[in-house]
Chain A
């Protein structure tokens, strides 16, 4: 680090000129188990804006951080998957509310990260907020859409219901640092899964700020865990982790995706392969159903007698 020329933070310069006061920098930290730890490794990496100016030092999460995140996600799974769908919907909607209040911050972070003009960054953030609302509404509808009674040929009441797969590792898209992130994360937790998210490697700051929003939106600690750092480095132990049930490879390139899919086979994780997605388009239910299991329960119905009633 020390041999690199130091850029002066541009935020600092502006603020200093206008207000004659030094602004307070935010220390960006991981979000694990509802807390904001630094990486246990003590490592950070430099995050710059699109012009190469320094924005922050983001934590470079280690495999130990990844394992801690899985433990937190597993611990949270019982409560979150057992919450009512209505309750999960309320909480996801609350995330949208909290984001709306911090809209300007996210517009600035996305603009700086992705090098977008304010208006385009705002469009991304608005779409991301609306995406939380869309998935908030899905929590108590998906079971009726993909589950239901099955007309078996026998005296049984036979019911199929979707249930969350468990702990899901999400490799957030590399390019779309916020809208893409929300588009892959919200469907995972909407149905009651818990998530370990690896943020965009180059643009990690909006993801870390999202952690702060989730922490104040009634999302129970551990339901979403956000890691930043080298995607390949963090993803490898998660793809091989025996207590992870599924993995979304959205943020992996072709070679990494293949490597991770092979590792994921070891405990038959459900795998979503990378595919081109227009994150501005209204999503279908694919990302919801990808992390749902179907449970079918048979109950004998008994019989009240042969004749029944004609009326």
Chain B
């Protein structure tokens, strides 16, 4: 019966295509590394292709940085550091304000570019990624000449050269989280974007050119894990900032042991979204959907574990399934699309394998009837019910559109289950009772807690994890500390 209702509902929500124009972005057939203000080939001449995950079309061919290139880029950043750090903060601020403004001006182009290279819906790049990117530069621009008032003492100093390695899930936003505070505090930067999403960082290099940023202050090295490892290991790097998997984060922590390098790590998560029996169901369902299906679930702070109070389990699940059946999966450039493509074949394989493991371990799998495009990397929104805490799908980060549903009876049980994780990045609470929100929020071991909302971000709001979700905070006044010698 449920499935009939579901299909009737789905057809009632048929939409005519509303594609965003692809012509607003001009992607060159090839890109170099951006070192010392110039685009340049890799020392060993290596290149790699970046594809659109929704079509597998090759978008461009990009130089692939190796160890020699890392050394060149760090050298350029070191040479630029003296002058850049000696600039009055008010002058550094103006560069950052320029960058923020240019991003705003070019945001439609960048949104389309990001959607093409990443596979996420244009609705998200347009309404979430790009506004947050500009806001982040705008926010940290304002700090550059106020650092003495940030609570870290007088005459605070930058660290030097920052080596930054970012993931593919929010390519330009993660770049902003890394570069904006680094430059505001007077550091210079070598940034390695992920191998599947190098383009927006290379467009950012062009924005640096337009802003007149002194050469060498920002260097962009597209490449793979080997380039990231070389950057982290480089003896002339003073600061390492990494966003990505917990496994790589641990490798970095080992690598920098015994050095003076300052490190911040923003790693994986297995966020619990807790729904109490007094929560407004429809609102909670929207929050649960946002929590796990935003960006196809490829979000470190995703609410990938739904903890629902036993008494409303069936009602909530019915609503949730109904809602999932109305999600539109397909062309990421279509403004109606809710669910875009998975970022890469590799990630798709990882999601598929964990989901198969979930089934094999006895959890019950459900997806709405959902036609997947014939080319590209796609995965239907998926629910697991009858999940226990021992199941892999309740423990491991899947980083895909897969929600594991568990139940609880009392607030204490909810908290115990939510905290039963190696991770501690995010959590959600859905209840109408204010005191319960505060009590539960204070017991959750997570760096970000959303009550009656989920996946909200803001440059003024510190973000980062407890436990194996990493250390350090990005955003807000707190985010300055990672780049200051304090």
* Interface residues, chain A, with chain B CB atoms under 8 Å away: 145-146, 150-154, 156, 158, 160, 165, 245, 254, 257-258, 261-262, 264-268, 270, 273, 284, 286, 293-300
**B113-156: contact bitstring with A at CB < 8 Å (1 yes, 0 no)?**
00000000000000000000001000000000000000101000
Answer whether residue B190 sits at the interface, using C-beta atoms and an 8 A cutoff: no
B229 CB within 8 Å of chain A: no
Among B265, B450, B464, B486, the residue within 8 A (CB) of A298 is B450
> Cβ of B478: which chain A residues have Cβ within 8 Å of it?
146, 160, 294
Contact A295 B250 (CB under 8 A): no
Minimal Cβ-Cβ distance residue in A for B283: A300
Q: Which of B34-42, B96-104, B251-259, B390-398 lines the interface with chain A?
A: B251-259
**B257, B265, B466 interface centre (most CB from chain A within 10 Å):** B257
Q: How close is A165's CB to chain B, nearest CB, in angstroms?
A: 8
Q: Give 27 pairs: A residue, B residue, CB < 8 Å, sorted on A.
A: A146-B151, A150-B461, A150-B476, A153-B135, A153-B458, A154-B456, A158-B460, A245-B467, A254-B258, A258-B257, A261-B257, A261-B258, A262-B258, A265-B250, A265-B253, A265-B257, A268-B249, A268-B265, A268-B467, A268-B470, A268-B471, A273-B260, A294-B447, A295-B448, A296-B448, A299-B437, A300-B451
The distance from the CB of A298 to the nearest CB of chain B, in whole angstroms, is 5
* Contact assessment for A262 and B257 in the assembled complex, using a CB-CB cutoff below 8 Å: yes
Tell me the nearest residue of chain B to A254, going by C-beta.
B258
Give the contacts of B409-455 with A (CB-CB under 8 A): 422, 437, 441, 444, 446-453
Tell which of A262, A268, A294, A300 touches B453, judged by Cβ atoms closer than 8 Å: A300
Q: Which 7 A-B pairs have the closest CB atoms?
A: A258-B258, A265-B253, A261-B257, A152-B458, A150-B460, A265-B254, A297-B449
* Residues B447 and A295 in contact, CB atoms below 8 Å apart: yes
A225 to B478, CA, bound (A): 31
Which of A273, A293, A295 has most B Cβ within 10 Å?
A: A295
A264 and B258 CA atoms in complex are apart in Å by 12
| A265 shortest CB reach to chain B, Å | 4
Residues of B in contact with A (beta carbons under 8 Å apart)? 135, 151, 153, 246, 249-251, 253-254, 257-258, 260, 265, 267, 422, 437, 441, 444, 446-453, 456, 458, 460-464, 466-468, 470-471, 473, 476, 478, 486
User: Smallest CB-CB separation from B450: which chain A residue?
Assistant: A298
- With both beta carbons as reference points, the residue of chain A lying nearest to B250 in the complex is identified as A265
A261 to chain B, nearest CB (A): 4
Note all chain A residues with C-beta closer than 8 A to B470. Answer: 268
Interface hub of B267, B461, B462 (most chain A Cβ within 10 A) = B461
CA distance A209 to B470 in the complex (A): 37
In the complex, what residues of B have CB within 8 A of residue A257's CB? 258
Residues of A near B253 (CB, < 8 A) are 261, 264-265, 268
Please, which residue of chain A has its CB at the minimum distance from the CB of B254? A265
| Chain B residues whose CB sits within 8 angstroms of the CB of A266 once the complex forms | 250
A3 to B192, CA, bound (A): 63
Residues of B within 8 A of A152 (CB): 456, 458, 460-461
Asked if B250 contacts A293 (CB within 8 A), the reply is: no
Residues of chain B contacted by A300 (CB below 8 angstroms):
451-453
How distant is A136 from chain B, measured CB to nearest CB, in Å? Answer: 22
Shortest Cβ distance from residue B128 to the other chain A in the assembled complex, whole angstroms: 12
Complex: how many Å from CA A264 to CA B471? 13
Give chain A residues whose Cβ lies under 8 Å from the Cβ of B249. 268
- A286-B456 Cα distance, complex, nearest whole Å: 30
Query: Which of A154, A268, A299, A300 has the most CB atoms of chain B within a 10 A radius of its CB?
Result: A268
**Is there contact, CB below 8 Å, between A145 and B151?**
yes
Q: Can you name the residue of chain B whose Cβ is closest to the Cβ of A284?
A: B153
CB nearest neighbor in A for B444: A295
What is the minimal beta-carbon distance from A203 to any residue of chain B, in angstroms?
26
How close is A82's CB to chain B, nearest CB, in angstroms?
Answer: 9
Provide the bound-state CA to CA distance between A252 and B54, in Å: 53
CB distance from A151 to the nearest CB of B (A): 5
> Hey, which chain B residues are within 8 Å of A299, CB to CB?
437, 451-452
The CA-CA distance from A273 to B259 in the complex, in Å, is 9
Q: Is the CB of B258 within 8 A of A293?
A: no
Cα distance, A265 to B240, chains bound together (Å)? 15
For A162, the closest partner residue in chain B by CB is B478
